[in-house]
Structure 1
Amino acid sequence: MLALITGATGFLGSHILRQWLAESHTARALYRSPAKLRLIADLPFEALPGDLDDVAALEAACAGCDVVFHVAAKADYWKDSDREALWRINVEGTRNLLAAAQQAGVPRVIFTSSASAIGIRPGRALADEDTAFNLRPQQFYYAYTKQQAEAVAAEFVAGGLDVVTVNPTVIIGPGDLNAISGSFVIETARWQWLLPSSGGGLAVIDVRDVARAHLAAVKKGAAGDRYILNAANLSYSDFFRLIARACDVRPPLLTMPDWLLEPTARSIEGLRRLGISTPLDADQARLGGKYVYFDGGKSERELCPPQIDIETSLRDTYSWYAQHGYIQRNWLTRLIGWL
């Protein structure tokens, strides 16, 4: 089978490409910059220049494909100034890609959405595929664009295109060049017990399990359905304790009070607009006091269950970052560890 993978040069897309090729299939990958191919340079695939704005390139890339994995998205959602780009890439880019797939007669599209496109429930209740989106668009614009992209996908499903949507929770694991979710690990290794935790919780899954679910969706997914991909729901205190164990440092001692979360989020937005790295992004800070938990039972039953436990995933994540120079051991980290 021939697959087109958008976003194949990224964290999740590169794992999907590797697993797809390991099953003796063939692949095309759309890329914007040759420099971004380094993560997959060792793999045999057809590399096609183009992006989600390039309708002609998308139509050519879809021609003759048995399946399209639409993974590409703009995920640096902390940049308020990039809201136009978030909409253009995540919503209109999805529209362009699905139109190209429909024009080419592609039998099935696997669309990578996000668990953030699903609503959250009160307390520690688990959200499922039927939970309505209930985040404020102005505060969670990335999540809003993913929810709107799903609405676009629904339009194409109504028009006869076979689209299966998958909604991963927070993705961790080796190979996250941009250190989006991986910033949890990098900053815990740096700040150790000084890094504050918060009172809520999150849902998390290993990238290799997410890739496996994408491949399973090709044959097992129901057209027009969505599937939450989740391995574990963890309180932030438990999550950071596991990260600290993987990094061999002491876990955070401080818990941020809920009233401080919104001011912290606004401060983070300001710092990141100036190009200053922070341990958390603004959305994570805003949701820090809530238990953003999800029920992944449907995907476990109909696609495939996760195989990698979170502690193993975090160890692998730390090892990958250490091997690739992301973990800096200097006088400051040594001092914090000594205190």
Structure 2
Amino acid sequence: MTIKAFVTGGTGFIGANLVRLLLKEGYEVRALVRPQSNLDNLKNLDIEIVKGDLNDINLVEKIRGCHVLFHVAAHYSLYQADKDKLYESNVLGTRSILNAAKQANIERIVYTSSVAAIGVGKPGEIVNESHQSPVNKLVGHYKKSKYWAEQEAKKAIINGQDIVIVNPSTPIGPLDIKPTPTGDIILRFLRRQMPAYVNTGLNIIDVRDVAQGHLLALKKGMIGERYILGNKNLSLKALLEQLSLLTGLKAPQQTLPLWLPLTVAWMEETLFSPLGKKPSIPIDGVKMSKQPMYYDPSKAINQLGLPSSPIEIALKDAIDWFSNNGYA
């Protein structure tokens, strides 16, 4: 029997790569897309598309007939003006779809959380799934909303649902349609709009490995367990140097003192945003860069078989995709 997967967030970066992997592996896919969504990432794919929202009252009927659910959809924003939208989509939307999945007799769910929900340790510390920053220490409403959304998944598990939680770190690669903040770093580098950088770091992973991690979690993950889907801890400086090697463009050499982007971000979000000017830098994004966000993905590597593809390939494919699709 062919397994039918219901996927939320299929138009986005991780979701679009996951949909392609599922099709390649012989799954049938039904994707929930919002009426206003850009469908470019799903063009010419042999999938069933249903229009709707995570908080729709008729969500059960849209899911019914599927066997498994990948709940990938989330609202991502670091801007403080988006606070209400973050909680409505990420927390209430997760509660809604998990409840609908229970009524529709979904057999197993992979819930896409984020390392954002885990938080960070002491400066420079590499943390794993057992770490949890207190929710009041998580920087910004995006991270807090992902924490509370993960609590919705844990409540559903206690109430008998078969749910595995995955926590992707920072994916890079093709189909970054929005783009993500990391994709935006790559784009600003390609456009030569990055004269300096802040002294921070990230855990980077090929987005196609993240998609594999979702499928491996479905097949091998333990109910209620968290799995960090990550690969390589890199300073932002090292990431920019890697981009320089791949493109021949010069990497910025100057570091920015944190107070400078923080001041710009505060002015843009507090003074100019109410006047209708979209801020270019979020305050919370600058605050997050105060310390490196480094993670240990060994649990997913050892227990699920998460691949660790070379970051250089993912970066090159991201560069090529942005260039071929008119971004750079």
Same fold at TM > 0.5: yes
Report the alpha carbon displacement of residue 281 of structure 1 after superposing the two structures with TM.
Answer: 4.2
The answer for the alignment partner of 1:89 in structure 2 is 89
**Structure 1 pair 288–307 and aligned structure 2 pair: CA distance change class (3 A):** same
Q: What are the superposed Cα offsets for residues 13-47 of structure 1, whole Å, 9 maximum, x if unpaired?
A: 11111000101110100111266222212111111
CA distance in structure 2 between the partners assigned to 1:108 and 1:88 by the alignment: 24
Partner Cα separation in structure 1 for residue 269 and residue 319 of structure 2: 26
Deviation at 1:297, TM superposition (A): 0.5
Q: Show structure 2 runs of 5+ residues with no match.
A: none
Structure 2 residue 288 is matched with structure 1 residue 287:
yes
| Rounded Cα–Cα distance in structure 1 between residues aligned with 2:33 and 2:111 | 17
For the 8 Å contact 2:139–2:288, the answer to whether it is kept is no
- When normalised by structure 2's length, the TM-score is 0.92
Q: Which residue identity lines up with residue 112 of structure 2 in the other structure?
A: T
- Distance in 2 separating the partners of 1:258 and 1:302: 39
**1:86, CA displacement in angstroms?**
0.7
Question: Cα offset for 1:245?
Answer: 2.6
Question: 1:263 Cα shift?
Answer: 2.5
Aligned to 1:216: 216
Alignment correspondent of 2:69? 68
Offset of 1:282 from its aligned partner? 3.5
C-alpha separation between the residues in 2 aligned to 1:136 and 1:260? 25
Counterpart residue number, 1:77: 78
Conserved 8 A contact 2:78-2:285: no
Distance in 2 separating the partners of 1:288 and 1:316: 25
Instruction: Render the CA deviation track for 1:161-204: whole Å, top value 9, x for unaligned.
Output: 01111001111111111011210111011226x53212221111
Query: 1:83–1:229: structure 2 CA closer, same or farther, 3 Å change rule?
Result: same
Q: Deviation per CA, 1:221-280, whole angstroms, max 9, x where unpaired?
A: 0000111111110111101111233333100111012444532442453567745463x5
Instruction: Report what 2:43 is aligned to.
Output: 41
- Partner of residue 331, structure 1: none
2:191 counterpart residue number: 190
Residue in 2 aligned with 1:152? 152
Match status 1:323 vs 2:324: yes
Q: Which among 14, 17, 20 is matched to residue 12 of structure 1?
A: 14
Q: Deviations over 1:275-299 (max 9, x none)?
A: 5463x54333212231210010101
Q: Is the CA contact 2:18–2:212 (under 8 Å) kept in the aligned structure 1? A: yes
Tell me: CA distance 1:275–1:4, structure 2 relative to 1, closer, same or farther (3 Å): farther
Instruction: Specify whether residues 135 and 239 from structure 1 end up closer, same or farther in structure 2 by C-alpha distance, changes over 3 A only.
Output: farther
Q: Shift in Å at residue 154 of structure 1?
A: 0.7
| C-alpha distance in structure 2 between counterparts of 1:92 and 1:34, whole Å | 20
Corresponding residue number in structure 2 for 1:333: none
Which stretch shifts more, 105-114 or 304-313? 304-313
Tell me the residue number matched to 1:51.
Answer: 53
Match of residue 334 from structure 1:
none
Q: CA RMSD in A?
A: 1.9
Uncovered stretches (5+) of structure 1, i.e. residues with no partner: 328-339
Q: What is the one-letter code of the residue matched to 1:66?
A: H
Q: Is the 8 A contact 1:264 1:285 kept in 2?
A: no
Measured at CA, do residues 35 and 151 of structure 1 come closer, stay the same or move farther in structure 2, by a change above 3 Å?
closer
Map residues 247-258 of structure 1 onto 2, 5 A cutoff.
247-258=247-258
SS of residue in 2 equivalent to 1:24: coil
Query: Which amino acid counterpart does residue 303 of structure 2 have in structure 1?
Result: E
Q: Secondary structure at the match of 1:171?
A: strand
- How far has the Cα of 1:94 moved from its partner? 0.2
* Identical aligned residues as a percent: 34
TM alignment of 1:126-137, pairs within 5 A: 126-134=126-134, 136=136
Q: Cα offset for 1:71?
A: 0.5
Name the SS for the 1:69 alignment partner. strand
User: 1:98 & 1:39 partners in 2: Cα distance?
Assistant: 25
Q: Report the CA distance between 1:148 and its aligned residue.
A: 0.1
One-letter amino acid matched to 1:242? Q
Q: Is the 8 A contact 2:119 2:138 kept in 1?
A: no
CA contact (8 A) 1:133 1:147 kept: no
Aligned residues, how many?
A: 323
Could you give the per-residue CA deviations for residues 75-100 of structure 1, whole angstroms, max 9, x where no partner exists? 1232x222111101000000000001
- The answer to whether the 8 Å contact 1:137/1:143 transfers is no
